[in-house]
């Protein structure tokens, strides 16, 4: 892995801006270390949370003897534990991601997002797991918070080349089954799949207690459809060619696209996920810092 390639994936501007903002788990995530993230597990750790009346069967070790001495009542001490969280980065590596009208393809951009996020998460000593998928998982890096992880991530990202179609929903369901510790699931994809199924997958992940962030990566041309003249569209995922005059269907195309995005956004909101629209023509740092600032605002209590 040469330096240049790594630089390509790691946007220094994005990272430097994002670092200051930090990637806090929006919700309580269980973890090993008392880190910056609050653990949802109450018990025996460092930070006192509350008292609870003793109930038969409770471990007597947690009985607050001081309160018993003073008041003759049985209270159990409860603690909050700051946990280390695991960020599962799900990167869509299907063929449709190969499209790009500008400098980057959607996949390039998605890889950059993945790399930057990985770097930041690892930097704050949280763990990440990387999963590149199309119809099934193609490349998987198990969770790790070691500093060498970033190199593995970058290498894996750089080496990946898409070949097949998308089937996000299946992958999401698989992931929901696999994740045993709750954490953040970051989905980076154009989500060109049945949006209902995608939303079901997200819902499944949410039911597992995971926080889900969706980076919806779309190209500028896909968003604006600026074509004129007679154009033959060659589908990227084995879809037959279509010959048409795009300017005559632009409006309905944009309408369809908007409907698709709206469905996804609303579905995400319903499931309390973050939906981040990404336009590949925008600088990465804008998107990342924008999102992280938003995130900071919503998680600060």
Does residue 243 belong to the site contacting other proteins (CB under 8 A)?
Answer: yes
Per-residue tokens: 171: 């992958």
When the beta carbons of 177 and 259 are compared against other proteins, the nearer one is 259
Interface residue with other proteins, options 26, 77, 106, 111 (CB under 8 A): 106
Does residue 247 belong to the site contacting other proteins (CB under 8 A)?
Answer: yes
Interface residue with other proteins, options 81, 96, 189, 203 (CB under 8 A): 96
When the beta carbons of 20 and 244 are compared against other proteins, the nearer one is 244
Does residue 161 belong to the site contacting other proteins (CB under 8 A)?
Answer: no
When the beta carbons of 74 and 227 are compared against other proteins, the nearer one is 227
When the beta carbons of 46 and 254 are compared against other proteins, the nearer one is 254
Does residue 109 belong to the site contacting other proteins (CB under 8 A)?
Answer: no
Does residue 234 belong to the site contacting other proteins (CB under 8 A)?
Answer: yes
When the beta carbons of 126 and 193 are compared against other proteins, the nearer one is 193
Interface residue with other proteins, options 36, 260, 277, 279 (CB under 8 A): 260
Does residue 103 belong to the site contacting other proteins (CB under 8 A)?
Answer: no
Which region among 75-83, 134-142, 173-181, 221-229 touches other proteins (by CB under 8 A)? 221-229
Segments of 13-136 assigned E as strands: 37-43, 47-53, 75-83, 86-92, 127-133
Contacts of 24 (CB under 8 A, 6+ apart): 36, 37, 295, 296, 299
CA pair distance 35, 55, nearest whole angstrom: 31
Does residue 36 belong to the site contacting other proteins (CB under 8 A)?
Answer: no
Residue 86: count of CB within 10 angstroms of its CB:
26
Half-sphere exposure for 151 (CA within 13 Å, toward CB)? 6
The DSSP secondary structure of 157-190, one letter per residue, reads HHH----S---HHHHHHHHHHH--S--EEEEEE-
When the beta carbons of 67 and 249 are compared against other proteins, the nearer one is 249
When the beta carbons of 70 and 234 are compared against other proteins, the nearer one is 234
Does residue 33 belong to the site contacting other proteins (CB under 8 A)?
Answer: no
Does residue 189 belong to the site contacting other proteins (CB under 8 A)?
Answer: no
Does residue 164 belong to the site contacting other proteins (CB under 8 A)?
Answer: no
Helix (H/G/I), strand (E/B), else coil: 269: helix
Interface residue with other proteins, options 207, 245, 282, 283 (CB under 8 A): 245
Interface residue with other proteins, options 99, 139, 265, 296 (CB under 8 A): 99
What is the pairing mode between strands 211-218 and 127-133? Answer: unpaired
The answer to whether residues 271 and 202 touch, using CB atoms and an 8 Å cutoff, is: yes
Does residue 210 belong to the site contacting other proteins (CB under 8 A)?
Answer: no
Does residue 97 belong to the site contacting other proteins (CB under 8 A)?
Answer: yes
Q: Cβ 196 to other proteins, closest distance in Å? A: 14
CA trace torsion 265, 267, 269, 272 (10° rounding): -130
Cα 175 to Cα 34, 170, 246: the distances in Å are 26, 9, 38
- The single-letter DSSP state of residue 98 is G
């Amino acid at each position: 892995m040469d330096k240049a390639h790594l630089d390509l994936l790691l946007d220094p501007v994005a990272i430097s801006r994002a670092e200051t903002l930090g990637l806090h788990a929006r919700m309580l995530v269980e973890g090993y270390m008392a880190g910056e993230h609050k653990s949802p597990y109450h018990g025996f750790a460092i930070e006192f949370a509350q008292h609870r009346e003793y109930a038969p069967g409770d471990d007597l070790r947690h009985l607050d003897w001081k309160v018993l001495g003073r008041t003759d009542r049985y209270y159990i001490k409860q603690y909050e534990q700051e946990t280390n969280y695991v960020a599962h980065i799900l990167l869509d590596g299907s063929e449709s991601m190969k499209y790009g009208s500008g400098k980057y393809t959607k996949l390039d951009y998605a890889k950059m997002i993945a790399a930057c996020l990985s770097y930041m998460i690892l930097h704050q000593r949280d763990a990440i797991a990387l999963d590149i998928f199309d119809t099934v998982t193609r490349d998987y890096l198990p969770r790790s918070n070691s500093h060498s992880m970033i190199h593995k991530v970058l290498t894996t990202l750089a080496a990946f080349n898409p070949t097949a179609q998308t089937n996000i929903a299946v992958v999401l369901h698989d992931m929901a089954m696999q994740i045993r510790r709750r954490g953040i699931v970051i989905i980076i994809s154009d989500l060109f799949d049945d949006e209902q199924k995608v939303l079901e997958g997200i819902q499944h992940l949410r039911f597992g207690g995971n926080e889900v962030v969706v980076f919806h990566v779309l190209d500028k041309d896909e968003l604006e459809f600026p074509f004129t003249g007679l154009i033959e569209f060659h589908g990227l995922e084995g879809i037959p060619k279509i010959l048409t005059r795009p300017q005559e269907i632009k409006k309905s195309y944009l309408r369809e696209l908007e409907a698709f995005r709206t469905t996804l956004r609303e579905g995400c909101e319903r499931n309390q996920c973050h939906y981040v629209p990404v336009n590949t023509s925008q600088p990465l740092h804008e998107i990342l810092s924008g999102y992280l600032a938003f995130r900071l605002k919503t998680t600060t209590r």
